[in-house]
Structure 1
Amino acid sequence: MNVLNTDQQVPTYTLEQDPVIGGRLFTMARFEGALTHQSELLVPHRKDYYLLVFTRQGNSRHWVDMTPYVTRPHTMYVFVPNQLTVKEEPKPMWATAVAFTKEFLALQENAALSKLPLIQNPRNAHELLLTDADVAFIEDMLEKIHAEYRSPGEWQQRMLTAWLTVLLTYLSRLYTEQFESSEVSTDKILLKEFHGKIGENFRELHQVSEYAGLLHVSAGYLSEVVKAQSGRPAIAHIHERLVLESRRLLFHTRHSSKEIAFELGFSDASYFNRFFKRETNLTPAEYRAATREMYQ
């Protein structure tokens, strides 16, 4: 598996830059065998858009946030912005991909989609397992979306939004069944909003009070709700996100602890080292050595 050198920054690809399915706000592609122009995907990278890949056949191996996956047939793979991804080698794949940007979700007719569990992805999930009934439904939806995608016209955008809404809502139900409880409450919504704000601001904001300000609640109330809903203090969620990003960079790059500390908003490398050791029981150097040895 490739890693980035110390002088290489983790590239972030926009949808237009995607070497395989490039597009603007929304695009769709079908793969019937070997993929070409994959060299950019063989180094650790991020996407700044959402990508859904429904696989029909293939056994390629890829990594998402330090977790390896071997592509399974009749499975849905979900990529969301900022996950760190790398493919191990180009291999043939038979699949259908749908991709869209944050700007697409910001369009008035699509705004409700951004609230769906699949899009918010609080569990940082990637692989959705499907029953035969799920596969039949998803294949039907993808056929409908593909037909509209290939038929430009006055009603194309509305029809694409309509079918995509059905697909994403269905997948969100599966996501909830697989990864979460289905109970919805005001407190659960606040917890999800808290996770969303952490995802947007964790590099700059490290204190519960700062997130409480963004959510227009008191720090005490936010701490109480988060603890009741998750069983963990609010600060633990912030630290968890910082550790995840630290692990991503330690695993997929050769960046020094000082460089990673600076990227994540720590005042100095020694403070970052103490923080990482406290949270993981390993120093950054020990974590990097242990994981590299494990996955050689």
Structure 2
Amino acid sequence: MNKTNSIPNIDFEGPQKIGFEILSIDSRDALKMKYLKVPHRASFYCVLWLIEGAITHLVDFKPIHLVEDSLLFVRKDAVQYFNHSDTYKFRILLFTEAFFCKSEGDVTFLQNSLLFSDSKASGQQSVGRMSKPLRELWQEMEKEFLLPDEQFQSDILRNYLANLIFLAQRVTWPELPVIGPAKSGGNLIVEFRELLEQHFREEQNVKFYAQKLAVTEKYLSRLTARATGRSTKALINERLMLEAKRMLIYSDVSSKTIAFDLGFGEPTNFTKFFKKQEGTTPAAFRDKFPLAG
């Protein structure tokens, strides 16, 4: 894998008025798609159903081994990379946050779903198995998607997708309860995450985000804890750490440059922050990571 100076961002290119698309891609198609040849950051959610073959897919520098009829759920803004030494065929479902989040609790539903969770508590990226009910649901959803601009199509697709997420989580973790949408605060969480994506490099203070959202710091932290299980400050730190790791693994820029890019006035402060969060220095993390070469 070649390192680059930056990680390309991929925007949703499907039907913009819907924000939802289902595609069929094989290993030959992937080689023709420029953004699939390098680590890239997608601004939308992905559900990948491997139909044939086997593949090692990298999601935020974690190798995930998929076999036939595996289902992989990838959250938005994760850095992905396809292993082009593999031969495979898969169906991929893409959807934007704007497509799914039509009510206040929808974003909380996505954040609470272990399938898309970026929480440390959720462990490895979610890999499930295609079952008969999931297969039938996917096929019905695909039939609806292929219809020519029918009335209520977006609403029907959204309901199919929600059912797919519920069912897949129940199949993957039958011992855990499926958490549905929260009753309130969902829109505020969406706004916070958008602000965090825009400003995490220069603003790491909870007060900044609370003021932007016209709420108290305590109220904002209560909302984020309810939606994600983490405090606002923890989410800010996790976002910084994720970007730092991405740059250390997928780029060849120096730790000093990364420190300044992430808003640290001094590289030593970045090193202290990284070591406190990860238990090792940025240089040691980069050196020991097997995907860094």
Q: Tell me if both proteins adopt one fold, taking TM over 0.5 as the criterion.
A: yes
| Structure 2 residue matching 1:287: 3-state secondary structure | helix
Which residues of structure 1 form unaligned runs of 5+? 17-21
Question: In 1, Cα distance between the equivalents of 2:188 and 2:45?
Answer: 22
Map of 2:162 onto structure 1: 168
Does residue 70 (structure 1) correspond to residue 65 (structure 2)? The answer is yes
Are the equivalent residues in 2 in contact too, given 1:191–1:229 (CA < 8 A)? no
Q: Alpha-carbon deviations, 1:210-247, whole Å to 9, x = none?
A: 23334544334555787899887653332222112211
Query: Aligned pair in 2 of structure 1 residues 64, 79: CA closer, same or farther (>3 Å)?
Result: same
Query: Aligned pair in 2 of structure 1 residues 88, 170: CA closer, same or farther (>3 Å)?
Result: closer
1:182 Cα deviation (Å)? 4.5
Map of 2:109 onto structure 1: 116
1:278 Cα deviation (Å)? 2.4
Question: In 1, Cα distance between the equivalents of 2:217 and 2:98?
Answer: 31
Question: In 1, Cα distance between the equivalents of 2:159 and 2:8?
Answer: 30
Question: In 2, Cα distance between the equivalents of 1:211 and 1:173?
Answer: 35
Map of 2:8 onto structure 1: 11
1:121-270 aligned at under 5 Å gives the runs 121-123=116-118, 126-130=125-129, 135-155=131-151, 158-172=152-166, 174-175=168-169, 178=173, 182=178, 196=193, 198=196, 201-220=199-218, 222=220, 234-270=232-268
Are the equivalent residues in 1 in contact too, given 2:51–2:89 (CA < 8 A)? yes
Deviates more, 1:269-278 or 1:112-121: 112-121
Aligned-residue CA RMSD (Å): 3.9
1:254 Cα deviation (Å)? 1.0
Q: Alpha-carbon deviations, 1:68-90, whole Å to 9, x = none?
A: 11113222212232111112225
Which residues of structure 2 form unaligned runs of 5+? none
Query: Aligned pair in 2 of structure 1 residues 285, 33: CA closer, same or farther (>3 Å)?
Result: closer
1:162 Cα deviation (Å)? 0.8
Question: In 2, Cα distance between the equivalents of 1:235 and 1:186?
Answer: 23
Question: In 2, Cα distance between the equivalents of 1:31 and 1:166?
Answer: 22
Map of 2:82 onto structure 1: 87
Query: Aligned pair in 2 of structure 1 residues 288, 153: CA closer, same or farther (>3 Å)?
Result: closer
1:128 Cα deviation (Å)? 3.6
1:288 Cα deviation (Å)? 0.3
Question: In 2, Cα distance between the equivalents of 1:181 and 1:210?
Answer: 35
Map of 1:35 onto structure 2: 29
**Alignment coverage as a number of residue pairs:** 280
1:283 Cα deviation (Å)? 1.7
Deviates more, 1:25-34 or 1:190-199: 190-199
Query: Aligned pair in 2 of structure 1 residues 188, 161: CA closer, same or farther (>3 Å)?
Result: closer
Query: Aligned pair in 2 of structure 1 residues 122, 62: CA closer, same or farther (>3 Å)?
Result: closer
Question: In 2, Cα distance between the equivalents of 1:203 and 1:127?
Answer: 28
1:116 Cα deviation (Å)? 2.8
Structure 1-normalised TM-score?
Answer: 0.75
Map of 1:19 onto structure 2: none
Does residue 58 (structure 1) correspond to residue 58 (structure 2)? The answer is no
| Structure 1 residue matching 2:289: 3-state secondary structure | helix
1:32 Cα deviation (Å)? 6.2
| Sequence identity (%) | 22
| Structure 2 residue matching 1:46: 3-state secondary structure | strand
Query: Aligned pair in 2 of structure 1 residues 232, 163: CA closer, same or farther (>3 Å)?
Result: closer
Query: Aligned pair in 2 of structure 1 residues 46, 171: CA closer, same or farther (>3 Å)?
Result: same
Are the equivalent residues in 2 in contact too, given 1:50–1:99 (CA < 8 A)? yes
1:28 Cα deviation (Å)? 1.6
Query: Aligned pair in 2 of structure 1 residues 151, 223: CA closer, same or farther (>3 Å)?
Result: closer
